[in-house]
Amino acid sequence: MDAMPVAEAPGAPSGDHTIHVDHRARMEILFAILLGLFLSALDQTIVGTALPTIVTDLNGNALYTWVVTIYLLTATISGPVYGKLSDQFGRKRLLMFGISVFLIGSALSGLSQTMEQLIIFRGIQGLGAGALFPISLAVIGDLFSPQERGKYQGLFGAVFGISALIGPALGGFLTDQVSWHWIFFVNIPIGLVALYIIGRLLPAHTESGVTRTVDYLGVAVFTAALIPILIGLTNAQFNDWTDPFVGGLILLGLVIGVVFLWVESRAKEPIVPLNLFRNRTYSISILATFLVSFGFFGAIIFLPRWYQIVAGSSATESGYQLLPLLAGLILGSVFSGQWVSRTGHYKWLTFIALATLTVALYLMTGLHADTPTPVLYTWQFIAGLGIGPSLAVFTIIVQNAVPWQMLGVATSNLTFFRQVGGTVGLAIAGTIFARTLESEAPKQVTSALLGAGVPQSQLDQLQQGFSGAFDLGQITGVGDMGQRILASIPEAARPFVEPYIPVIVQGIHEAFSLAIANTMYLSMVVTAIAAVSILALREVPLRKTINANSMAAARPSAPADGSEPAPVEGAPVAASSAPKPETRGPNVPATE
């Protein structure tokens, strides 16, 4: 499975970490990497479309959420572990292992005959998926210098956009015309092509002198901390934060998390090197990524529901009504990558992008039931332009700020905080949505009835007729809301309530829209904080070579107080006469 040995470039300084392959091979490897990412992204969109059919077929409504939760758990937890191991044992082995596990999990998921089997096999699939994104980004870091990277990392946003375009349609077609089992089997031929190209062309490059001690205790404690936190956050979407299975689990995870920090501070080869966070460029990028994911995913997740429940779109149609958002995301991602590659500047580009996203979220706080669809499309497009650069640029910033020996773990940590930020944002936004809907529904229904000319005396009778008779969570589903309202009230009251059903539905639609708008306020504030944090980012010049020695040679040594040195504009990037950098242990960060 190993490729040819990797030769040092003539005249390269000792310790040059460049993987030397010709341009055509690099492009083929890039294609295979994008295929691997496409697998992971497509799985998320295609499974969501088919899940209602799967649950019905396997009689698994009680375990519905676990099909998604178990995948999230295993993928999120395994990501940082893969990243660290790829620094120690090489990207090729870990990436091929991850793709193989993902394909095995896909095949087993497609063969599932019970809901319990599907959940277990989805967990295996998630274990493989945990390697795909962080190691793929790290491989790009191995193949291209930071200055080149922007040309290609913008394609990563495009991959997610394309998967979102074809995922719902492909999932619907396979589910309706073939069988839901094939939404998992379709991964296998794509994955085998990626495996073949990576196995044939990607060199099995590992750094000499790297300690290959695995932090087993750190992995165990890290897993023990994240499992209750992620399950608690998932449960928060359906239960109160004071519930022991929400707040209790999160608190337990945080306590174990403190133990994890203690373990990592004493580990020889920690899976999450804490010294990395002393690097201001790295820390600010991690913080901003977490906040952006918190704000963006916590709010945007509700837009398909608005299209389905308020606008009356089907599930497939609601997916395609996010096309303006995806178009802006792809455009912003590709443009920002090209801009950074050509100019070498990223600080103000990132700030402007996050400010644009903040403005878009502010516009979405004006969402109402009668908001024209073209207006909402415009808001989505602006939001996409804002989020696109964060998918491409933060990876470049982080990889440029750390030594090559830590490229994998730094990239996987970035991916990890992006995933956790989205999970936390979704949980908190879900709580805001539910509470706002509960408080606004009576107000908006009353206002709509009064606006329709219903006398106060009849309004009192109406409220007595359906007060407490239905659950908002049940009636705000896909389909005919009016029929669900009628079905939920006493039969004797139906003749009196029925003439006013269209007005009642109108009021609930407005309450639903205001509930979504309220989640946008939180997202707007969080994204604004992310934008402000970028102002503290020091713009370190992008390296023109891949090796870490050039990074050390291009800038002065760190001040004694541990703060970041000012970058030296126009400093040589990799001269053969550059002094040999001070030897660093694996836990010492770069000086940016």
pLDDT over 70 percentage in the chain: 79
pLDDT band at 283 (very low <50, low <70, confident <90, very high): very high
What are the extents of the domains in the chain? 16-209, 216-267, 437-511
pLDDT of residue 585: 41
* SS3 at position 190: helix
pLDDT of residue 561: 42
Q: What is the pLDDT of residues 156-166, one digit of tens each?
A: 777 877 777 77
Helices (H) and strands (E) in the chain, counts: 22, 0
Query: Which comes out higher in pLDDT, residue 400 or 286?
Result: 286
Mean residue pLDDT of the chain comes to 79
**Does the pLDDT at position 567 exceed 70?**
no
CA 88 to CA 587: how far, in whole Å?
A: 13
| 38-47, 252-261, 499-508, 569-578: segment of lowest average pLDDT | 569-578
pLDDT of residue 457: 66
pLDDT over 90 percentage in the chain: 22
pLDDT of residue 534: 94
Can you point out the beta strands (E) in 30-81? Answer: none
pLDDT of residue 468: 54
Contact 515, 496 (CB under 8 A): no
**Does the pLDDT at position 25 exceed 90?**
no
pLDDT band at 299 (very low <50, low <70, confident <90, very high): low
pLDDT band at 448 (very low <50, low <70, confident <90, very high): confident
What angle do the packed helices 146-173 and 323-343 form, to 10 degrees?
Answer: 160
Contacts with 62 (C-beta within 8 Å, 6 or more apart), sequence order:
none
The number of C-alpha atoms within 13 Å of 474 and in the hemisphere containing its C-beta is 11
CA 143 to CA 198: how far, in whole Å?
A: 13
pLDDT of residue 524: 94
Residues present in the chain in total: 592
| 8-12, 169-173, 312-316, 406-410: segment of lowest average pLDDT | 8-12
pLDDT of residue 361: 94
**Does the pLDDT at position 23 exceed 90?**
no
**Does the pLDDT at position 528 exceed 90?**
yes
User: Helix %, strand %, coil % for the chain, to 5?
Assistant: 75, 0, 25
Contact 79, 139 (CB under 8 A): no
| 108-112, 329-333, 359-363: segment of lowest average pLDDT | 329-333
Q: For 16-209, which CATH class?
A: mainly alpha
**Does the pLDDT at position 14 exceed 50?**
no
pLDDT of residue 472: 61
Mean pLDDT of 329-333: 87
Query: Which comes out higher in pLDDT, residue 356 or 584?
Result: 356
Mean pLDDT of 529-541: 90
pLDDT of residue 430: 81
**Does the pLDDT at position 467 exceed 80?**
no
pLDDT of residue 33: 85
Contact 80, 222 (CB under 8 A): yes
**Does the pLDDT at position 547 exceed 60?**
no
First-to-last CA distance in the chain?
36
Q: Where do we find the tokens 């809301």?
A: 481
**Does the pLDDT at position 427 exceed 90?**
no
- Could you give the angle at the alpha carbon of 566 between the alpha carbons of 565 and 567, nearest 5°? 110
Residue by residue, DSSP assigns 349-404 as HHHHHHHHHHHHHHHHTT--TT--HHHHHHHHHHHHHHHHHHHHHHHHHHHHHS-G
- Whole-angstrom CA distances from 407 to 15, 140, 259, 520, 549 are 15, 10, 25, 34, 14
pLDDT of residue 464: 60
Q: What is the pLDDT of residues 194-248, one digit of tens each?
A: 899 888 888 776 665 566 677 889 889 989 998 898 888 878 867 788 888 889 9
Nearest to 197 by CA among 137, 136, 127: 136
**Does the pLDDT at position 412 exceed 60?**
yes
pLDDT of residue 465: 54
